């Protein structure tokens, strides 16, 4: 038989241990690719929003807001914020813009090298 712990089974500073899992209804992957610097903006509020967290995202993103700021403001893990934002994208309530990555084929590496070489010669 296991001994009963003297105190609560979690630390008050840790917060609820299953919150992110419950908020995302067990989902761990967003349906869209969202980088942490992806900008999110509300275009059409959902009525009614699926959850209080979804409503908070809609209110927060009335102007472009990065995903990492949404996660920080709502005190959620980054992946949980991405899942919730993906829900709102699916509903047509928010739009997002992910910055172009450096390995994107649209980046002209030769031009960048030429500029860097020119700056070094200065």
Token pair of 107 as six digits = 């980046």
H or E stretch including 65? strand 65-66
* Domain extent listing, the chain: 13-121
Structural contact between residues 58 and 49, judged by C-beta atoms closer than 8 angstroms: yes
pTM given for the model: 0.65
Give the neighbor-by-neighbor strand order of the sheet with 65-66: 65-66, 39-42, 94-97
| pLDDT per residue of the chain (122 residues) written in tens, 0 to 9 | 455 555 555 555 555 555 666 676 667 777 778 888 889 999 977 667 788 888 999 999 999 999 999 999 998 888 889 999 998 998 889 999 887 765 666 667 777 888 888 788 87
């Amino acid at each position: 038989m296991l001994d009963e712990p003297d105190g609560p089974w979690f630390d008050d500073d840790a917060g609820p241990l299953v919150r992110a899992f419950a908020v995302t209804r067990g989902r761990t992957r967003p349906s869209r690719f969202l980088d942490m610097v992806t900008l999110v903006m509300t275009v059409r509020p959902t009525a009614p929003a699926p959850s209080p967290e979804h409503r908070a995202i809609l209110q927060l993103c009335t102007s472009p807001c990065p995903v990492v700021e949404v996660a920080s403001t709502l005190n959620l893990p980054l992946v949980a914020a991405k899942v919730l934002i993906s829900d709102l994208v699916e509903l047509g309530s928010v739009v997002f813009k992910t910055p172009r990555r450096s390995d994107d084929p649209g980046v002209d590496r030769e031009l960048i090298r030429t500029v860097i070489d020119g700056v070094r010669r200065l």
